[in-house]
Chains A and B, each alone.
Chain A
Amino acid sequence: MFSTIYVEEAVCDHPRTRKILQHFRGRTVIECRHYGELLNLKAQNFRLQKKQPALILAEKQGKKILPAPAGYHIGARHNYYFSHMLNCIYDCRYCFLQGMYQSACSVLFVNYEDFIHHIRQQALSHHDEAVHFFSGYDGDSLALEPLSLFAETFINDLRNISNIWLELRTKSTQVRSLLALEPWPQCIVAFSFTPEDISKALEHGVPAIQQRLNAIDKLQQRGWPIGLRLDPLIDIEDFEQQYRGLLQQLFSVINIDNIHSISFGAFRMPENFYNRMTGLYPKERLFAFNMERHDGIVSYGESREQDMRNTMREMLLEYVRPSILFPCVA
């Protein structure tokens, strides 16, 4: 999975670093001072680096959690996100990470205990009100679980705090550690989907829809709440037919009583990210169709987005109650 491993000098002797490095015996391990030395260099190419991605084990300094973007929530008033990882082992062509980072190196912050401490503090500051913490904003939450044990560690340390809700957002099938745990009703395992044709064209390296559904099936049988993230909605010629087919596929396996929430929102991107992504993949069809540029955002345009959301909502209402639907306009 990773041909080269970089380790920040400060975490060389961290027990988690040592444990993770056991998975990479025989690989080249290179010490660095700070992950920014690799991530922030201008003269590098995300696309080329995706061919042989590297892993950086680092220490997260400064702020560990941040308020979620306005408009992004699944039912709570207080919403935060955190990133124990930067970048992703998958390679979705619509992913904003390509536009945000110069490098495709995946960064894994090994100081989980600092994140957990800040999450607890933030939850306590809201007393008894529900606080949602989203993971998987800057990379897939579960894709590296077998070596990172991120979910297992965070769930075990946070489940006794009554107002914490945790979302693990993923496209992976790495659910073994969750299946071994006692289900936590406040941890939503949220799977992202696009229809089969779109997934095949744009989601490189991502497990097939059926494989993800198999993982969901195991989780729901164990009693884990499931989230569905139909995000981003990609506009295509036969949009309605494609997404209708996807919903049929999803709801043939997923028990609607196990679904905590479904969010959906159209593909949109800050203009500077979009320009960088287009520069990386000038021949990518996704970027070759007409898009609107408005106030620094590239999108399908307000009215088309509205149509897409409405169509999606109507199709979803054929299966589920409206209270679990969360259109995303952020």
Chain B
Amino acid sequence: MLIIHTALHGEARALINHFSLKRQHDMNAFACFRADNIFLIESGIGKTNTASAIGWACGMLNVSSPVMLNIGMAGHTACSIGECYIANRIEDHATQHRYYPPQLVDTPLGSDCLLTLDRPTENYPEKCMVDMEASAFMQAAIRFTTIELCQSIKVISDNTLKPAGRMKDSEVESLLAPHTEAVTGLASDLGQYRAELMDNTGATFSQLTQQWHFTKYQQQQLARLLQRHQALQPDEELIDTIPAWIDSGKAFMRWLDGHLNNLPVRL
């Protein structure tokens, strides 16, 4: 699952077109768009809007370790309008708290530091981008996923020669549109990392918990037993090997534990 956050509708528009996302009319708290495993939420400008949107989306979607991207505009003292960067350090100007999203993916995009401000500015700090959302995005996002899967991508929309001003949606969209391919590549690589973290014993777990009763604690034990089984007997279809005499969850766990403990230790 990929969750994309934008502040402005112009930013969203470039991605809605690129990913063929459909407006979710039953969701009123924020403007949301979706296609298969991609969910886009448009929060409005600023940290509070961003944190609320991320919390709301992640709570509602309830997926484990999603890939999360904050995509938007940023200012910079010297970079040219239209250049696109991944933030390698995000600092909240008000709290001075910093996040360092690990740069694990090879991407054609450059990387730069990013400072998140509470208000727009024309006094650009030296050597970093400025925006109004990224620190709140990171703070909220890492409650729901691991920081490697959270990234902030910024297109330079203003600089000392062309200070920030009101931009039309179409202008924002055209700044972001040339970079949507790079965004897709990044999202896809992060998606592969995410897949490595996923547990694929879920179907067997569901089957067993429907068949027998397991307490919450037993469910944790069962999940670990299934992982052990998968590690040691990856080719064995567990459900087919359960002896007929097993009549409860507890008996099943005792049997599987014994079965695994008796296997010869081969790495």
Contacts and interface: CB of A to CB of B under 8 A. Distances in A.
Contacts of A6: 100
Contacts of A37: 98, 100
Contact of B266 (A48, A49, A237): A237
A54 B111 CA distance: 15
Given A4-B88, A289-B265, A28 B103 contact: yes
Interface string A18-41: 000000000010111100011001
Interface in A40-95: 41, 43-45, 47-49, 51-52, 54
A208 B146 CA distance: 33
A48 B231 contact: no
A287 interface: yes
A8 B264 CA distance: 49
B236 to A, nearest CB: 13
Contacts of B80: none
B265 A44 contact: no
A52 B101 CA distance: 12
A33 B148 CA distance: 20
B143 interface: yes
B261 interface: yes
B26 to A, nearest CB: 30
A280 to B, nearest CB: 9
A43 B147 contact: yes
B129 to A, nearest CB: 13
Chain B interface size band reads 35 or more
Interface string B233-267: 01000000000000000000000000011011111
Nearest to A33: B98
Nearest to B190: A48
Contacts of A41: 99, 142, 147
Interface size class of A (residues with CB under 8 A): 35 or more
B231 A44 contact: no
A245 interface: no
Nearest to B111: A28
Interface string B185-228: 00000000100110100000000000000000000000010011
B146 A290 contact: no
A285 B232 contact: yes
A48 B260 CA distance: 28
A321 interface: no
Contacts of B23: none
Closest 10 CB pairs of A and B: A288-B231, A43-B142, A201-B267, A282-B227, A288-B228, A290-B261, A45-B146, A237-B264, A48-B148, A52-B104
5 contacts: A43-B142, A48-B196, A201-B267, A285-B266, A287-B231
Interface of B: 88-89, 98-100, 102-105, 111, 113, 142-143, 145-149, 193, 196-197, 199, 224, 227-228, 230-232, 234, 260-261, 263-267
